A and B are shown apart, each in its own frame.
Chain A
Amino acid sequence: MISKEEIKKLAELARIHLTESEEKKLAADLQNILGYVDKLKEVDVSNVPEMTHAINVRNIFRADETDVRHPVSNVSREDLLIGQFPESENGYLKVKGIFNDDE
């Protein structure tokens, strides 16, 4: 059974504020879904490897060089990106203070 405290903790980890009635509804939904996925316990998975990808993929590396064909280094993209920051200053992304210094 998922406790109220657990839901609170998860919501905090997921950075989503929940009201009390939302917490209750979510606890019931999660309980229902976890009850369903519990059937995986029937499967004998000893000596079975974990499958992390649908096809066999390996790490792919490239030289650490600016590639002008990539949109990341395309200046107009940066303009479009920066223009849409909720808050910016001189082209820099502005964020709220992380630490409270009022204590």
Chain B
Amino acid sequence: MMNNFQTLTIKKIKERLASGDLSARELVLHYQEEIKKKDLELNAYREVFSDAFDVAEEIDKKIKRGDAPRALEGVPFAIKDNILIKGKFIGASSKILEGYRASYGAIVIKKLKAEGAIFLGRTNMDEFAMGSSTENSAYGVTKNPYDTTRVAGGSSGGSAAAVGVGMAHAALGSDTGGSIREPASFCGVVGVKPTYGAVSRSGLIAMASSLDQIGPIAKTVEDAEIIFNVIKGKDALDSTSADRELQTTNYKLQTKVVGVPKEYFSLTSGGKQGLNEDVAKKIFEAVDLLKARGFEIKEVSLPYSKYALAAYYIIMPAEVSANLSRFDGVRYGLREEGKNLLEVYLKTRAKGFGPEVRRRIILGAYVLSAGYYDAYYARAQKVRYLIRKDFENEFKNVDLLLTPTAPDVAFKIGEKTADPLSMYLEDIFTVPINLVGVPAISVPFGFVNKEGRDLPVGVQLIAPWFCENRLFEVGKILEGK
């Protein structure tokens, strides 16, 4: 029979597997064909796994035997190249990890597997998740499925493009300052950055440990919700994973008041970048839609958010410089020979790390160095406290916040590579959320036409700590439009 794979959802896959009207083998075959057809041009995958068929056949056998399908039975996933799958190559799109195989599996991978997910391959990203376009990958840029002269966004650009163009049903990404939401917005898919601590980071290659979270990238909000419910939860191997019950299933409508932070519509930062007018129009359309659905809309104020990106570019590189010291040419991956240990370090790290990674490591070393700590790092951590206070205050008045995900639609390849700061400003709307630790979702909301091409726009919804359910609740209303 003919299958329309683009209209499949996780629920439909489950139903059709159970009724025998679709097999896991057919699903894998379909996505592998799509990858063959499209990925040569897009470069979303770094590797396609050869064992996906074996897993699919196991699943088909189990279902034939009469086993009830699990939550993600037969769902083909793409996995970002910084989430460990035991025995598979893992590289964070960096030369320094070339040839390295994961010696254990991430907890999220174990959880997906236990619910019947199939892994199609690992996806391209900015090196060590540092970037907003995948142009910092050591293995080439991932192109935007809607216009191949534009970026897919980053750092989880490969995962977002794969789902956006139908080369995977769903994907995992990681988000430190917007790395799930921005590419999701650029590729017209749903992306979730969970509450800090909601999902275990065990088996995620660390970038900035007080900010990193793993989250789903999916075609629909419902799919993203199902995946989130599988991967969430306390884990002994990540001591920052939170030991608390998340409100998720069978909730009743919790959101009544939606706040629109006025500062987000005037964040021009250095006169360099404001919100694109056409994108702003779409955001106000989303606001009007919610108003028409009976939500109360309130203008709110988050005055310290304008300092978020500056605080982020101190805190994040500081954590990066510590986390990436483990790549030393001694334990794994690339090694360059030298006459003593110091020379091995210097040469290995010079050859293995790309320009952006070096820039952040050295910036981190600078802000943490003696004499500068109070002026930079300590001050940034204090400003971070003030930014969080703003969110705490406003979440007393509103149930949810609505903002743009990114200041504009996908930009041209090469447009921002010469000036690192202009690339950093891409994350101006997403970075505050990571600093504060609250959850957020990017939901596709129509298109803006540029140079004759329709390019997707994303609306960002932000909920209080551990209230992901509100993101899904209102996200479904927005995507239903």
Residues of chain A at the chain B interface (Cβ within 8 Å): 2, 6-7, 10-11, 13-18, 22, 26, 29-30, 32-34, 36-43, 45, 48-55, 57, 59-60, 62, 70-71, 74, 77, 80-81, 84-87, 93, 95-98, 100
Contact = CB atoms under 8 A, between A and B. Distances in A.
Interface residues of B, number: 76
Contacts of A41: 379
Contacts of A53: 196, 210, 240, 437
3 pairs of A and B residues whose beta carbons are closest in the complex: A54-B437, A54-B196, A50-B381
Contacts of A60: 239
A7 to B, nearest CB: 8
A48 B239 CA distance: 26
A70 B197 CA distance: 20
A26 B358 CA distance: 9
B239 A43 contact: no
B102 to A, nearest CB: 8
B382 A45 contact: yes
A91 B237 CA distance: 25
Contact of B385 (A34, A48, A71): A48
Contact of B211 (A11, A50, A54): A54
Contacts of B304: 43
Interface of B: 86-87, 100-101, 103-105, 195-197, 210-211, 236-237, 239-240, 242, 270, 304, 307, 309-311, 313-314, 321, 325, 328-333, 335, 338-347, 349-350, 353, 358-359, 361-366, 369, 376, 378-386, 388, 419-421, 424, 434-437, 465
The residue among B105, B197, B378 with the most chain A CB atoms within 10 A of its own CB is B197
Given A16-B349, A37-B314, A43-B383, A97 B340 contact: yes
A86 B329 contact: yes
Contacts of B328: 15
A84 B103 CA distance: 9
Given A50-B378, A51-B381, A57 B197 contact: yes
Contacts of A62: 236
B331 A48 contact: no
B369 A10 contact: yes
B346 A15 contact: yes
A16 B101 contact: no
A50 B329 contact: no
Given A16-B350, A39-B310, A84-B103, A98 B197 contact: no
B381 A52 contact: yes
A16 B358 contact: yes
A32 to B, nearest CB: 6
A11 B346 CA distance: 9
Contacts of A33: 313, 363, 420-421, 424
Contacts of A40: 307, 310-311, 314, 379-380, 383
Contacts of A32: 419-421
Contact of B366 (A30, A39, A50, A86): A30
B193 to A, nearest CB: 11
A71 B341 CA distance: 29
Nearest to A46: B382
The residue among A7, A43, A87 with the most chain B CB atoms within 10 A of its own CB is A43
Contacts of A29: 359, 420
Contacts of A43: 304, 307, 379, 382-383, 386
Contact of B307 (A13, A26, A39, A57): A39
A86 B332 CA distance: 6
